[in-house]
């Protein structure tokens, strides 16, 4: 088994508490290591996830990129911070993805995707997604100048997956995985509402069906589904919250392909499960915390020997 890197978000946490962090999971050694404990006094406290915790992860050579709500951080493989960048059109960022020499960020607070030039270290491209009836349209803008969209969260665009076939994106309320071919948006495949981490895989689509508490692969050649791990309620901590919408167990988010047929999926309380699509079997599972507020967010293969 390879190592994985995961970020976590602690929903409903308070000032002075951890809001999540970055973790390395070594399945061979059956160990996990917290390499960053995120506690930022500038975090917004509007409820639910919002600005808490760290989000998407992307790796470019020796550069490790991790997104917070409104800031992109670069770390070394030893988790020394190198730099960080902000942009007025980056708000409530979720997933990030790299293709060729550009890093793409989902800016949920603007229903937009931003592009970050990895050679010039600057925000260089933006696309606002709009829905008119059942049709989706894209409006391109330059995030370096003030000609972008107004803030909005109609579609809750929270996912971007950059691929040779196009830029794939989705949100809680899109009901579809959209594909941008460089000129226009296309409805690539229908999805349930409320999904996370939708991405093309093999001849189909792989995603966290968060509302149904499962991970699904749907294709013309077949389908597979794995239940999100669940626990006895007595094992959970911090479960007596005033607002049950803040956190629940079984919330599936975070998804990556480990190798041919092997995928890793995250959930709350912070759990990572490895599923084998070929054998239709869950092969490994590790839980980082039994705090019901603590949820996995970003998840990627960790290619380094460090940590």
Average pLDDT per block of 10 residues along the chain, 307 residues long: 90 59 89 84 47 86 96 96 97 96 97 98 97 93 93 95 96 96 94 96 96 96 94 86 64 95 95 96 94 92 86
pLDDT value of position 97: 98
Q: For residue 184, what are its two tokens? A: 């226009």
Distance CA 24, CA 175 (A): 33
Give the contacts of 61 (CB within 8 A, at least 6 positions apart): none
Longest dimension (CA), the chain: 52
Distance CA 235, CA 288 (A): 13
CATH 2.130.10.10 fits 3-302, yes or no: yes
Helices then strands (H, E): number in the chain?
A: 0, 25
Closest by CA to 215, choosing from 288, 174, 272, is 272
Give the contacts of 296 (CB within 8 A, at least 6 positions apart): 6, 7, 8, 253, 254, 266, 267, 268, 270, 271, 272, 288
- Note the pTM of the prediction, 2 decimals: 0.93
Q: Are 43 and 55 in contact (CB under 8 A)?
A: no
């Amino acid at each position: 088994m390879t190592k994985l890197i995961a970020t976590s978000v602690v929903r409903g946490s308070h000032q002075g508490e951890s809001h999540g962090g970055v973790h390395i999971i070594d399945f061979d050694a059956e160990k996990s290591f917290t390499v960053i404990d995120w506690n930022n006094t500038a975090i917004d406290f509007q409820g639910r996830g919002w600005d808490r915790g760290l989000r998407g992860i992307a790796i470019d050579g020796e550069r490790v990129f991790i997104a917070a709500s409104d800031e992109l951080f670069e770390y070394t493989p030893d988790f020394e911070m190198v730099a960080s960048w902000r942009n007025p059109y980056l708000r409530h960022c979720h997933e990030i993805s790299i293709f060729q020499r550009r890093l793409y960020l989902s800016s949920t607070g603007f229903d937009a995707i931003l592009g970050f030039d990895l050679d010039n270290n600057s925000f260089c491209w933006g696309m606002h997604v709009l829905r008119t009836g059942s049709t989706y349209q894209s409006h391109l803008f330059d995030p370096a100048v003030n000609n972008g969209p107004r803030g909005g969260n109609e579609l809750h665009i929270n996912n971007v997956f950059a691929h040779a076939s196009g830029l794939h994106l989705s949100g809680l309320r899109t009901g579809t995985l959209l594909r941008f071919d460089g000129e226009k948006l296309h409805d690539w495949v229908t999805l349930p509402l409320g999904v996370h981490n939708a991405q093309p895989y093999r001849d189909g689509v792989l995603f966290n069906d968060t509302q149904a508490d499962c991970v699904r692969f749907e294709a013309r050649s077949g389908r597979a589904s794995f239940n999100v791990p669940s626990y006895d309620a007595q094992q959970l901590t911090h479960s007596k919250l005033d607002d049950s919408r803040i956190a629940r167990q079984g919330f599936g988010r975070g998804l990556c392909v480990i190798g041919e047929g092997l995928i890793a999926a995250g959930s709350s309380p912070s759990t990572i499960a490895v599923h084998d699509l070929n054998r239709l079997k869950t092969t490994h599972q590790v839980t980082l915390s039994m705090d019901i507020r603590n949820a996995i967010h970003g998840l990627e293969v960790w290619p380094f020997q460090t940590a």
